[in-house]
Structure 1
Amino acid sequence: MIKTVSTTPYQDQKPGTSGLRKKVPVFAQENYAENFIQAIFDSLEGFAGKTLVIGGDGRYYNREVIQKAIKMAAASGFGKVMVGQGGILSTPAASNIIRKYHAFGGLILSASHNPGGPNEDFGIKYNTGNGGPAPEKITDAIYARTKVIDTYKIVDSADIDLDEVGTFKISGMEVQVIDPVADYAELMEQLFDFVAIRALLASGVRIAIDSMGAVTGPYAVEIFENRLGAPEGSVRNATPLPDFGGHHPDPNLVHAKELYDDVMSKSGPHFGAASDGDGDRNMVVGKGMFVTPSDSLAIIAANATLAPGYAKGIAGIARSMPTSAAADRVAEKLKIGMYETPTGWKFFGNLLDAGKATVCGEESFGTGSDHVREKDGLWAVLFWLNIMAARNESVAEIVKSHWAEYGRNYYSRHDYEEVDSDAANALVAALREKLPTLPGQTFGALKVEFADDFAYLDPIDGSVSKNQGIRILFEGGSRVVFRLSGTGTSGATIRVYVERYEPDASRHDIETQTALADLIAVADEISDLKKRSGRDAPTVIT
C-alpha cells in the first residue's frame, strides 16, 4: 500500500558539490531524509518503470535510509531498484552499475571522506543516467523543491533483506540485490594488464592497500589478493564498518600516516595506497616518495598508453582549477586538450561525455577517467601498478623521471577546518574587493601578474559557474588560490592552495613547505588569514 505522508519542509537541504551532507542526528530528524529523497524524485521526469541504483559506503545510518529509499522509489513509480548487497556500493562501482545496466540514475548514500558514526556525517547525492553527479540545474531544482515540500510517498511494507543476493518484489517494483564487487572488478580487468601486475607482485614487490574500514575493502581483497595474487593481509582494514573502525577515512598524510610511515620504513612494503569512505579517492606512496594527487594525474596521463584500456592514447585531460598545472605540461607535449574546471567531479561529466577528455583529476586525492563518471580510487592504484610493471621502475624512479622531463610543480594545500562561517565568508568577500588592486603589486620577490575570482564557461552546454575560487598568479608561474569547501558538515573550511613551478632539475629535492615558504607568507599577508580565521596554523597540510 502506498501512503502519502504530510511533512514540513526543512530550509537547510541545499546540496553541496557532492549532494547533501549533514550529521547523522540531523538526517535522523522526522522526515528529514524522506523530504530530500522525495525532492529528488519530484525534480526528475520520465522515470516511470525505469531502474534506480541505490548503494552506499556502509557508514552509520546507511541501511536505514536505503530501506526508506527503496520504499519511496516503489511509491514514486520506478520499475526496478538495483541495490548492493549489504547496502554496499562504492561510488565508482555505483557509477559503473548505472552505466552498464542503463539505469535512469542512482542514489549514493555517503559523506565521502568524512567520519562516520552515530554523531558523525551522512550524505545523499543523486547521479544521473550517465553515472555522474547531478549537474547544478538538477541540484538547484532539488533544493527549490525541499523548501516547499509538503508530502512524500512511501510504500508501507516490510524491509528488504539486503544481505541476500537475489530478486524481490515490493508493491509491484522489482528489487535486485546484487554482488557489489563483481561488475567493477570485471571492468578493471578490461582496463589494466593484470598479467603484468600479477608478475610484478610475484617478483617480490610488496604492497599495502589500506581501505580504512570503509567501502573499498571487499573490492580491494577481490582485486589485489584474489585476482592479482598479493599475499593475504595485503589489504588492511578491509571490513566496511559503520564508524570506519574509528578511522577518519580521508586518504592523506594525516589520516593515513600509519601506512605512510610503514612504506617509508626500511622493512616496509614497496608500494602503499589508501582509499576513502566511498572509494573515489586515493593516496599513492612509494618507498621514499609520496605522490601528490596533482603529480599523480600528470604521471598517469603521460603514461596512459601503458595500460591496455588506454593503448590508443587519450583525447584530453581535465583538472579542477586548484589542482596544479603539472598535467597542463603533459597535455602541451602530447598536443591534446587541457580543460580547467571548477572543483566538483560533476564539471568533468560533459567533457567526458563529449569525448573531449579521457583522464581527469582533482588535487583532493581524486583521479579517474571516462570508464565511469566519478573519480575512482582503486582505478588510480591499479594504474600506478600497471605503470610500475610496464616500466620496471619504482614509484620514486617514475616520479623523478617525470620531473626531469616536465619540471616540478611544488604544491601544497593548507586547510583551515571548522572556521566560523561568517568569518570565512568575510575573508572571501574582502579578497574579492582587493582583486582589482592586486596586479602589479610586489610582495618581496613575488610580483602579482593576474588576480580573479574563477568563473567557468562549460564548452559543451554553455553554462556558466561563477565565484569558484580566488586566484592570485605571480610572474614566473607561481600562484595561490583561496576557496571555501563545500564538503564539510559544520562551520566552513578555508582551503589555501600554493604552487611554484620549478623547471631546474637540480632544485627538485627541496622540502615542499620550504620551497613554498615565501608564497605561504604572502598568502597570509594578502588575505589576513590567520587573524580572520583565528588560527595560527592550518588544521591539515597536504
Structure 2
Amino acid sequence: MSSTAVTDIKFGTDGWRGVISDNFTFKNVAIVGQAISEWVKRDLRPPRGGQGRRVTVGYDTRFLGKEYAQIISCILARNNVEVYLGQAPIPTPALSYAVVRKKAVAGIMITASHNPGKFNGIKIKNSQGGGASTEVTKRVEQYLGKTPVRTMDCAEAIQAKRIKMCDFKADYVKFMRRYLDFPKIKNARFKVVQDVMHGSGGRILEEVLKGSQIRLTLMRDDINPYFDGGKPEPVVEYLGGILNKVKREKFDLGLVLDGDADRLAAIAPGGEFISPQRILGLIILHLVRNRGRRGGVVKTTCGTMLIDHIAEDLGLELYETPVGFKYISDLMVSKRIVAGGEEAGGIGVQDYIPERDGTLAGLLLLEMMAYEQKNIKQLLNDMERKYGRYYYERSDLELSNRALDMNRIWSIKSLLGEKVVKVTDYDGIKLTCEDESWLMLRPSGTEPLVRAYSEAKTLKKAKALIGVGERLLKN
C-alpha cells in the first residue's frame, strides 16, 4: 500500500472529500471502504434488537456516486457486514433515517454536499443517524492501508443477499408526513417554489405534500452532476433564478436545498434572501409556540445573536458549539434540544434523528405559515420587531499557504471604533464588540479556504467588518 495514497485521505468537518479522478479514485474509495469495514468489525457492537452488524449505504446525484457506493458495499459484504444499499439517489437525511429504521451500526453516504461538481466524498453516520465524531473518523483513518482490500462481485453479493437493495426514500417520506401536523398544512393554499439545485432532494417535497392544496413549483429538479458549473450551495451567488422567480410570480415562499438536501435557505415575497440564521430563529419560535416543544437550543460559534435573544425570552437554555453539525448532533443525543442549526443552513429538530434536514426545515416553515396564517415575510417582520434585525455576511478566501496569525488577531482591541469585549478561539477566532457586532476568521474544514464571518445591526457595518477580515487575511 502506497503511503502517498493513504495521506491523500483525510476526514474533515463533515467527512472525506476529494476531486474525482485526482485523489477521489476507485482505489482510494476501496481503501476507505476496507478501513470502514475494519472499524465496524473491531470497534462496533450490534445495537440492541439488531440482527448483526449491518450498515446502510446511500449516494446522491454526483458523478459516479452509484459506482462508489457499490464499491463500498461490496467490500463491506466481503468482510461479513450486512449491507442495505439504496437503489436510487437519496438525500443524506434519508440515509441517516435508514440507519435508525434498519437498526444499523453505521451509515455511509457518498456525497460532497455543497462542493463543486468535480468533488465527491464519503460521510460516516453513527448508529443514531448523526454525523460520526472526530474520534470515529480518526479511528477509521488509523485503519487506512492496514489490511488488504477484500471485495466481491456486486451481482453475486446481491444474489447471496449479502447486499440488500432498498427504497430508502419511501420510508423517509412516510416519516416526514407523520412528523408534520399534516392536517394543518393540508388545506393551506400557499404558493411555494423549491430550487433543488440538481441535487438528491429531487421531487421529495412534492411527495410529502401530496394530497394538500399547496401550489408547488419545482426548479432544477433534474440530475446534472455539473450543477450548472457552480456549487449546489444555497447562497445568494447561485440563486438568481429563484430570487427572480419568487419576485416575478409572487410566491409566498421559496425554498432552496443543497446538493445532498441536508441544508436549506429560503426566499421571501419580493425575492428577499432569508439566511439560515433567520430560518433557525423562526423554527425555534414555531416549535415552542405552536408545537409546544421545550428544551435547549444550539447554535455554532459563528451563529447569530438573534438566537441568544430568542432563547432568553422563551426561557430556553442556549448551547454554543464549534462549526460542524456533528457537534450539534452530539448535544441532540445527550440533551433535550428543541432545535439546533449552523450558519451554512443545516438545522435539526426535536424528536427526529440527531441530524440536519433541509427538506424538513422547509416544511416546518410552511407549517408555521399555516399555523399563523401569514406568509414568510410577515413572520420575519414579527420576529425582528421583537428580537432585533441582524445582518450576516460571509466571505471565502484562499490563504496562499500561510497559517492564520492568531496572535495578531488576539491583539486587536477595537473593530470599526467599537471596543472588543470578548475573544473566542476554540474554533478559529471570533472578536465580539460592545454593540453585539462581531468578526470571525476560521479555516474551512471541508475546502482549502479561510472563511470570514461577520454580523452587525446594519448591513453596511456587517460588510465593513468583512472588509476588515479580508484585509487581515491578505496582509
Q: Same fold (TM over 0.5)?
A: yes
Match of 1:405 in 2: 386
Q: Which runs of 5+ in 1 are unaligned?
A: 1-5, 161-167, 455-467, 503-509, 533-542
Q: What TM-score, normalized to structure 2? A: 0.92
Q: Is the 8 A contact 2:340 2:348 kept in 1?
A: yes
Instruction: Give the 5 Å matches for 1:49-68.
Output: 49-68=52-71
C-alpha distance in 2 between matches for 1:481 and 1:515: 14
Q: Is the 8 A contact 1:442 1:448 kept in 2?
A: yes
Equivalent residue for 1:276, pick from 258, 280, 283? 258
Are 2:450 and 1:484 equivalent residues in the alignment?
Answer: no
**1:444: how far off?**
4.3
Match of 2:287 in 1: 304
Equivalent residue for 1:287, pick from 269, 276, 295? 269
C-alpha distance in 1 between matches for 2:340 and 2:400: 31
Instruction: Give the 5 Å matches for 1:485-500.
Output: 485-488=444-447, 492-500=448-456
Are 2:431 and 1:472 equivalent residues in the alignment?
Answer: yes
C-alpha distance in 1 between matches for 2:416 and 2:61: 50
Match of 1:366 in 2: 346
C-alpha distance in 2 between matches for 1:138 and 1:335: 35
Q: Deviations over 1:359-390 (max 9, x none)?
A: 11011122121412221101111011011111
C-alpha distance in 2 between matches for 1:211 and 1:61: 20
Equivalent residue for 2:149, pick from 133, 140, 152? 152
C-alpha distance in 1 between matches for 2:205 and 2:365: 15
Instruction: Give the 5 Å matches for 1:253-402.
Output: 253-265=236-248, 267-288=249-270, 289-305=272-288, 311-370=291-350, 371-402=352-383
C-alpha distance in 1 between matches for 2:115 and 2:418: 36
C-alpha distance in 1 between matches for 2:185 and 2:257: 19
Count of residues in Structure 1 that have an aligned counterpart in Structure 2: 465
Q: Is the 8 A contact 2:184 2:370 kept in 1?
A: yes
Q: Is the 8 A contact 1:337 1:356 kept in 2?
A: no
Instruction: Give the 5 Å matches for 1:521-540.
Output: 521-524=467-470, 527=472, 529=473, 531-532=474-475
C-alpha distance in 2 between matches for 1:212 and 1:521: 30
The verdict on how the C-alpha distance between 1:245 and 1:415 changes in structure 2, with shifts beyond 3 A counting, is closer
Are 2:465 and 1:519 equivalent residues in the alignment?
Answer: yes
Q: Deviations over 1:149-208 (max 9, x none)?
A: 351111245377xxxxxxx443x62x322223211111211222222223222xxx2111
**1:210: how far off?**
1.1
The verdict on how the C-alpha distance between 1:243 and 1:47 changes in structure 2, with shifts beyond 3 A counting, is farther
Are 2:188 and 1:188 equivalent residues in the alignment?
Answer: no
Q: What TM-score, normalized to structure 1? A: 0.81
C-alpha distance in 2 between matches for 1:275 and 1:396: 19
C-alpha distance in 2 between matches for 1:252 and 1:106: 28
Q: Is the 8 A contact 2:60 2:91 kept in 1?
A: yes
Q: Secondary structure at the match of 2:203?
A: helix
Q: Deviations over 1:376-405 (max 9, x none)?
A: 101111011011111111111111110111
Letter in 2 for 1:64: E
Between 1:294-303 and 1:350-359, the stretch displaced more is: 350-359
Match of 1:506 in 2: none
Equivalent residue for 1:209, pick from 165, 169, 194? 194
The verdict on how the C-alpha distance between 1:517 and 1:283 changes in structure 2, with shifts beyond 3 A counting, is closer
Match of 1:446 in 2: 418
Q: Deviations over 1:39-88 (max 9, x none)?
A: 1222232457322100011211111111111211111111x3222222x2
Q: Runs (4+) of structure 1 moved beyond 6 Å?
A: none
Match of 1:460 in 2: none
Match of 1:93 in 2: 94
C-alpha distance in 1 between matches for 2:239 and 2:304: 22
**1:315: how far off?**
0.9
Q: Deviations over 1:282-307 (max 9, x none)?
A: 11111033221111111110121466
Q: Is the 8 A contact 1:212 1:237 kept in 2?
A: yes
C-alpha distance in 1 between matches for 2:416 and 2:18: 43
C-alpha distance in 1 between matches for 2:422 and 2:288: 36
Q: Deviations over 1:424-464 (max 9, x none)?
A: x2xx1x2x1125533xx34442112222412xxxxxxxxxx
Q: Deviations over 1:218-241 (max 9, x none)?
A: 3123123x3434457x12222334
Match of 1:39 in 2: 35
C-alpha distance in 2 between matches for 1:46 and 1:17: 22
C-alpha distance in 1 between matches for 2:79 and 2:449: 37
Letter in 1 for 2:107: G
Equivalent residue for 1:249, pick from 219, 228, 232? 232
C-alpha distance in 2 between matches for 1:193 and 1:14: 42
Q: Secondary structure at the match of 1:373?
A: coil
Q: Is the 8 A contact 2:394 2:466 kept in 1?
A: no
C-alpha distance in 1 between matches for 2:240 and 2:171: 32
C-alpha distance in 1 between matches for 2:305 and 2:98: 33
C-alpha distance in 2 between matches for 1:198 and 1:246: 37
Letter in 2 for 1:376: D
